[in-house]
A and B are shown apart, each in its own frame.
Chain A
Amino acid sequence: MLKYHRIGLLLVALLAVFAFAAVACGDDDDNAKTTPTAAAAATTAPAASPTARATAFPADSTMAKIAAKGSLIVGVKFDQPGFGLLDPKTSKPDGFDVQIAKEIGKALGLQESQVQFVESVSANRIPYLMTDKVDLVIATMTINADRKTQIDFSRPYYLAGQSILVKKENTTITKVDDLNGKKVCSVSGSTSETNIKTKAPTAQLLSLADYSSCVSSLKDGRVDAVSTDDIILAGFAAADPSLKLVGGQFTQEPYGIGVKKGKDDLVKFIDAQLDRMFKDGTWDNIYTTYLGKVEGLPKPADARAKLPATN
Chain B
Amino acid sequence: MIDFLRELVNQSQLYYPELLRGYRTTVILSVLSFTLAMVLGGVVALIRTSESRPLRFLSGIYVEFFRNTPLLMQLVFLFFGLPKLNLPLIGRPDWFLLSPFKAGLVGLTLYTGAYTAEALRSGLLSVDKGQTEAARSLGLNYVQTRIYVVAPQALRISVPLLTSILSALFRNSALVSAIGVTELLQTAENIQERNFQTFPLLTIAGILYLTLTLPLAYASARLERRVARAH
A residues whose Cβ falls under 8 Å from a Cβ of B: 122-123, 126-127, 146-147, 149-150, 188-190, 194, 206-209, 213, 216-217, 220-222
Contact = CB atoms under 8 A, between A and B. Distances in A.
B196 interface: yes
B177 interface: yes
Interface in B65-112: 80, 83-84, 97, 100
Contacts of A220: 80, 83-84, 97
A126 B178 CA distance: 22
Nearest to B100: A206
A127 B180 contact: no
A188 B186 CA distance: 8
A221 B189 contact: no
B177 A127 contact: no
20 contacts: A123-B189, A123-B193, A127-B198, A146-B194, A149-B196, A188-B182, A188-B186, A188-B190, A189-B186, A189-B190, A189-B193, A189-B194, A190-B193, A206-B100, A207-B182, A207-B186, A209-B177, A217-B83, A220-B97, A222-B97
Contacts of A190: 193
Contacts of B137: none
Closest 4 CB pairs of A and B: A189-B190, A220-B83, A189-B193, A208-B180
Report the contact-size class of chain B (Cβ under 8 Å from the partner): 10 to 19
Binding site secondary structure of chain B? helix
B83 A209 contact: no
Contacts of B196: 126, 146-147, 149-150
B195 interface: yes
Nearest to B98: A222
A115 to B, nearest CB: 27
A303 B5 CA distance: 47
Contact of A221 (B97, B100, B178, B186): B97
A231 to B, nearest CB: 20
Contacts of B177: 188, 209
